[in-house]
Amino acid sequence: MYLLSHLFLMLTQSSERAEKERSDAYLADATDLHDLEFRMRELDRGASRRASWMVHTE
């Protein structure tokens, strides 16, 4: 059981890390402040549309 839970934890952390890297790269490509704010709102709206069990909270 420990091995299964450890595997699940590794997979979800890897997925969360990849998603964070994608969103960081997306924000870094903003051309100006307006574009950056638009992209930030867009990412926030996308996170609010996910099921509550899919959203990672720290």
- The tokens of 44 are what? 């926030």
- Residue 54 is given by DSSP the state G
- Position 15 scores a pLDDT of 76
Q: Bigger pLDDT: 57 or 27?
A: 27
CA-based radius of gyration for the chain: 15
Q: Which range (8-12, 16-20, 49-53) has the least confidence?
A: 49-53
Among 15, 8, 2, smallest CA distance to 55 is for: 15
